[in-house]
Amino acid sequence: MEKRSTTFLYQAYARFARFGFWRKNKFSMAGNFLIYALILTACLGLDTFRSTVYQLFSLLLSVFAVSAALSFNPPKGLWAKRILPEYGTAGTLVSYTILVENKTGRLKKGFEIRERFSNATPSLEAFANTREPHEHLRNPWDRKLKVHRWNWLTQQKQNAVLARSQVPVVPPASQVSIQTELTPLNRGYIYLKGFTFLKKEPLGFMRAFYHTTCEARLLVLPRRYRVPELNLPGSRKHHTGGIALTSKVGNSDEFISLREYRPGDPMRLIHWKSLAKTGKLIIRENRDEHFVRHALILDTHAPEGATQAFEVAVSIAASYAANLVSGESLLDLFFAGNRVYHYASGRGLLGNTKFLEILALIQSTTDKDFAQVSRAVLKYKRLLSGCILIFTCLDNERLDFLNNLRANGITTTAFLVAGEHEPAPGSPVYLIDPNNIEAGLSKAGQRP
């Protein structure tokens, strides 16, 4: 019964969404006012013997019919393509260019252009199984109708706020450019399907419109906050076999001197020019490899109803990744999905932007097990100088991991992203309320 009810609601909302899209394109503001006036005069003019309002209704209906007839055939002839930037950032305005081309021999004017999203309608599976962040706080009637869930899923699919743009006069067989803007709402991809060209009919109540196809996508990076500078240690640690890394970061394998070969010396240190001159094996002596290495550990487990908390956790991770990746240190990112993921960043490795790309596409998991991430990080415990940990829940397993890092002499800064009802976790962990993020982050910057 529940499944049938969900299917019925999904089909009804999908039909309403398609009708709403058509209505938004078809009617201008004056046209919407005309519809409301028609309904009002129809209701007031039912009794034709006591009121003459029906005459006004007849006039408005005639205007509506003429307007509909004039908007029946769209005046085609314009095509468009866009020039998008490589990235956008959630919550930040993105400016880009649309090139509109007139391939006909006639002047085109009075057009508007609007972007269309690909797959703007959520799937039935997502509607049935994905809850909106605050659904558990809704009243029983709202939870049954799932209208807020539909609106939230639709917003997630579109992932941007767009506006119509006016198309300037386009001469025959020529091209014009339009500067337009969109505001990404969330991290991830925005999928754009094409354009809708609109033109008002002479009365101005309705529009003729037609669609063109021009598919593209824009990667939206996580929104970033102003994070306080953390007192992570800068002590360099020895990394055996880290020559490839240290040639790019920190104290590299700097040449000291030449000496004769000793049993056990690695063959890669042979100085071949000296061998050619003397006929003896000569070895290069280098400094040890030392550099600073930090870890950023993101817990991808999101408890039920913690979608907003997880998004805040990703944004905090992105904020620190953008600040910590430099030429003087390495940063390792650890998180888990269907397996443990580990990426190293620094000069000569993944760059700052590549880290943000990874975080833009990261997904939460329902698996609460943290053992895989714990084992992966502890393999590097001798090499790490400091760690930033970001959790959305804090259980004994995660606390034991945190204490293990501290016991190994690794300075840690840990954040728990949870609601204000969550009890304060204590001094090693800073509580971040998703509704008051800046205040929680400032506490981390104030620690002695």
* Cβ(334)–Cβ(341) below 8 Å: yes
Cα–Cα distance list, 342 to 52, 220, 345 (Å): 77, 22, 10
State the pTM of this model.
0.78
- State both tokens at 198: 């609109």
The reported pLDDT for the residue numbered 343 is 81
Secondary structure class of 196 (helix, strand, coil): strand
The single-letter DSSP state of residue 334 is E
Round to whole Å and give the CA distance between 437 and 248: 35
- State both tokens at 173: 């067989």
In what order do the strands lie in the sheet containing 207-221? 87-89, 207-221, 188-200, 111-117, 165-166
- State both tokens at 207: 């529009």
CATH superfamily of 2-221: Immunoglobulins (2.60.40.10)
Q: Give per-residue pLDDT as tens, 256-306.
A: 567 777 776 667 667 777 767 777 777 766 554 556 778 889 998 887 767
* Cβ(73)–Cβ(208) below 8 Å: yes
* Residue carrying the six token digits 């002479």: 202
Round to whole Å and give the CA distance between 211 and 223: 32
Domain boundaries, the chain: 2-221, 253-286, 293-445
Q: Hey, what CATH topology would domain 293-445 get?
A: Rossmann fold (3.40.50)
- State both tokens at 151: 């609106």
Which residue positions in the chain have pLDDT lower than 50?
234-236, 238-255, 288, 327, 448
Q: Give per-residue pLDDT as tens, 53-101.
A: 889 999 999 999 999 999 988 888 899 999 999 999 998 999 999 999 9
Cα–Cα distance list, 118 to 21, 129, 183, 198, 215 (Å): 13, 21, 17, 19, 8
Q: Which residues pair with 96 in a beta bridge?
A: 180
Round to whole Å and give the CA distance between 139 and 184: 30
* Cβ(300)–Cβ(365) below 8 Å: yes
Round to whole Å and give the CA distance between 281 and 266: 12
